[in-house]
């Protein structure tokens, strides 16, 4: 019987604990919440989603969709709970965040191979162990990691979007619909004409942000605050979160100049997330400026946008393979802390680390094919890189095809190749 320590009951830690428990390991899963909270978590639930309730695209020919399919093929707990907690969101998999994290908590707590210990870890673990304390790793523990790993701790800044109470929205000014009609009435759309947009933009650019100097550098390019995008040019938002294309207001003949989209936060539609509105504005400014959006003049905010430092390690320097530390055999770093970016990427790294650790304990080589996104992401983290940054799942990570293919064909082929090879791998592995 192998005993393994997993530190951090987030997406990566829960997935890792689950995969190890499935294979007969006895797991001690340490989670510091609810006694110690992070700046973004607000509950004691395991696998709490700190920002958006969307887990990305569903289409199997997109990188997000393929990652989901790979995770399902490997019996991912997080994917199973996400599928069970799904709320309508067009072509994306969005979940009721409370139902989702309560479900993960229940499944983990009921597993007799997992003991959940609600404790703050302040010591570097002994092998075998997986450290998955996330981008908001507790400060004291981050210092322990720094001391052990040398100069290998890095960071960037990330932001979360506000959530609005549905009852405070003026439904006479907004309309339901998804871009190009894909997904039916999954989004609430707040249309703006040219004058409304210009006024909004001017105020947004001039608005006061939190500790501006500290945050000015080190944003993560794919999760930029809405006010930073606004400052890049008068039309930047129209190609980003306020993109109007494919959205027609049924009450007006003229297409909207800009559209703010709101996505359901729960199955009952009592709350809506402002899509792409992660922000670092001070709270008073958020209320003032976002209430300029048509339909949101009387908006009540369930949560306002926040900004946080995200920690990750310099994986190419510190990891050897499949998230294992070079200098500490049998100790793995998984999740966002290992330099993958995103809810399901973090989940996937927890899964891969657990499989590899389990293989090590049983004397078996366990490495996923490099033409799967899970295998390719793990390989990315150890590739020499003098400017290492956290990485989302994307097709650019996969080995290219020799033959010439259209973009659509290429996407299909990537997905087909990955799932076919993963199936062969799974069948040989069990």
The dihedral formed by the CA atoms of 211, 217, 221 and 225, expressed in degrees to the nearest 10: 20
Nearer to ligand FAD, 349 or 418 (CB): 349
Rg of the Cα atoms in the chain: 22
284 exposure class (CB count in 10 Å sphere: 0-12, 13-18, 19+): exposed
Please pick, from the candidates 135, 225, 305, 348, the single residue that binds ligand FAD as defined by CB under 6 A.
Answer: 135
Q: Does 33 bind ligand FAD (CB under 6 A)?
A: yes
Mention every residue, 6+ apart, whose C-beta is less than 8 A from residue 148: 124, 328
> Which pair of structure tokens corresponds to residue 72?
């399902």
Q: Does 166 bind ligand FAD (CB under 6 A)?
A: no
Residue where the block lists tokens 């559209």? 259
Mention every residue, 6+ apart, whose C-beta is less than 8 A from residue 315: 333, 338, 339, 381, 382, 388
Query: In Å, how far are 28, 169, 274, 283, 304 from 301, measured between CA atoms?
Result: 38, 10, 10, 10, 6
Please pick, from the candidates 5, 76, 137, 314, the single residue that binds ligand FAD as defined by CB under 6 A.
Answer: 137
Q: At what angle do helices 343-362 and 63-73 cross, to 10 degrees?
A: 40
Q: Does 134 bind ligand FAD (CB under 6 A)?
A: yes
To the nearest whole angstrom, how small is the minimum distance from the Cβ of residue 101 to ligand FAD?
A: 10
Other beta carbons less than 10 A from residue 109's beta carbon: 12
Nearer to ligand FAD, 105 or 197 (CB): 105
Q: 366: closest CA among 400, 323, 331? A: 323
Please pick, from the candidates 342, 353, 377, 393, the single residue that binds ligand FAD as defined by CB under 6 A.
Answer: 342
To the nearest whole angstrom, how small is the minimum distance from the Cβ of residue 3 to ligand FAD?
A: 18
Q: Which stretch binds ligand FAD (CB under 6 A): 34-42, 60-68, 83-91, 239-247?
A: 34-42
Please pick, from the candidates 10, 65, 152, 348, the single residue that binds ligand FAD as defined by CB under 6 A.
Answer: 10
Q: Which stretch binds ligand FAD (CB under 6 A): 36-44, 197-205, 375-383, 409-417?
A: 36-44
Q: Cβ-closest residue to ligand FAD?
A: 10
To the nearest whole angstrom, how small is the minimum distance from the Cβ of residue 29 to ligand FAD?
A: 9
- 56 sits in the region (left: phi over 0; alpha: psi -120 to 50; else beta) called left
Q: Which stretch binds ligand FAD (CB under 6 A): 127-135, 210-218, 376-384, 402-410?
A: 127-135
Nearer to ligand FAD, 201 or 334 (CB): 334
Q: Does 370 bind ligand FAD (CB under 6 A)?
A: no
Nearer to ligand FAD, 9 or 128 (CB): 9
Residue where the block lists tokens 């094919």? 369
Nearer to ligand FAD, 33 or 263 (CB): 33
DSSP letter (8 states) at residue 254: S
Mention every residue, 6+ apart, whose C-beta is less than 8 A from residue 281: 207, 208, 209, 210, 225, 227, 289, 305
Q: 148: closest CA among 128, 124, 165? A: 124
Please pick, from the candidates 4, 50, 104, 274, the single residue that binds ligand FAD as defined by CB under 6 A.
Answer: 50
Q: Which stretch binds ligand FAD (CB under 6 A): 49-57, 227-235, 356-364, 410-418?
A: 49-57
Residues 310 and 156 sit within 8 Å (Cβ to Cβ): yes
Q: Does 13 bind ligand FAD (CB under 6 A)?
A: yes
Residues 402 and 290: their CA atoms lie apart, in Å, by 49
Residues 129 and 140 sit within 8 Å (Cβ to Cβ): no
Q: Does 7 bind ligand FAD (CB under 6 A)?
A: yes
Q: Does 158 bind ligand FAD (CB under 6 A)?
A: yes
Residues 70 and 79: their CA atoms lie apart, in Å, by 10
Nearer to ligand FAD, 8 or 295 (CB): 8
Q: Does 45 bind ligand FAD (CB under 6 A)?
A: no
Restricted to residues 266-325, the positions that interact with ligand FAD (CB under 6 A) are 308, 310
Q: Which stretch binds ligand FAD (CB under 6 A): 76-84, 132-140, 169-177, 224-232?
A: 132-140
Q: How many CA atoms lie within 13 A of 5 on its CB side?
A: 17
Q: Which stretch binds ligand FAD (CB under 6 A): 3-11, 76-84, 85-93, 168-176?
A: 3-11
Other beta carbons less than 10 A from residue 415's beta carbon: 22
Nearer to ligand FAD, 34 or 284 (CB): 34
Residues in the chain: 430
Q: Which residues would be at the binding site for ligand FAD (CB under 6 A)? A: 7-13, 30-33, 38, 40-41, 50-52, 120-121, 132-138, 141, 158, 160, 308, 310, 335-337, 342-343, 346
């Amino acid at each position: 019987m192998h005993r393994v320590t997993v530190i951090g009951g987030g997406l990566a830690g829960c997935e890792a604990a689950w995969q190890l428990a499935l294979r007969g390991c006895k797991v001690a899963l340490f989670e510091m919440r609810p006694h110690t909270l992070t700046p973004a978590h607000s509950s004691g639930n395991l696998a709490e989603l700190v920002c958006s309730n969307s887990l990305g695209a569903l289409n199997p020919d997109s990188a997000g969709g393929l990652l989901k399919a790979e995770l399902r093929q490997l019996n991912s707990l997080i994917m199973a709970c996400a599928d069970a907690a799904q709320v309508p969101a067009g072509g994306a998999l969005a979940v009721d965040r409370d139902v989702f994290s309560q479900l993960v908590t229940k499944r983990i707590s009921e597993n007799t191979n997992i003991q959940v210990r609600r404790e703050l870890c302040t010591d570097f673990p002994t092998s075998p162990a997986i450290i998955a304390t996330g981008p908001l790793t507790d400060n004291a523990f981050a210092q322990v990691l720094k001391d052990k790993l040398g100069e290998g701790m890095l960071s960037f800044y990330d932001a979360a979007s506000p959530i609005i109470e549905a009852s405070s929205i003026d439904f006479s000014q907004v309309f339901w619909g998804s871009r190009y009609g894909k997904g039916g009435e999954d989004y609430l759309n707040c249309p703006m004409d040219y004058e409304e947009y210009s006024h909004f933009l001017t105020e947004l650019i001039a608005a006061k942000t939190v500790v501006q100097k500290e945050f000015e550098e080190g944003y993560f390019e794919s999760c930029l605050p809405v006010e930073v995008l606004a400052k890049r040019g008068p039309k930047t938002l129209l190609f980003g979160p306020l993109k109007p294309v494919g959205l027609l207001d049924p009450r007006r003949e003229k297409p909207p100049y800009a559209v703010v989209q709101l996505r359901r936060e729960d199955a009952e539609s009592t709350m809506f997330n402002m899509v792409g509105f992660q922000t670092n504005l001070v709270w008073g400014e958020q209320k003032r400026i976002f209430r300029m959006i048509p339909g949101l003049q009387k908006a009540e905010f369930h949560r306002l946008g926040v900004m946080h430092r995200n920690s990750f390690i310099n994986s190419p320097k510190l990891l050897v393979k499949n998230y294992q530390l070079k200098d500490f055999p049998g100790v793995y770093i998984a999740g966002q802390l290992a330099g993958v970016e995103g809810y399901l990427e973090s989940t996937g790294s927890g899964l891969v680390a657990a499989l590899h650790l389990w293989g090590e304990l049983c004397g078996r080589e366990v490495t996923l094919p490099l033409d799967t996104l899970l295998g390719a992401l793990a390989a990315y983290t150890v590739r020499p890189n003098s400017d290492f940054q956290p990485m989302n799942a994307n097709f650019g990570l996969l080995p290219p095809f020799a033959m010439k293919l259209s973009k659509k064909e290429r996407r299909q082929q990537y997905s087909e190749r990955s799932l076919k090879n993963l199936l062969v791998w799974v069948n040989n592995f069990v």
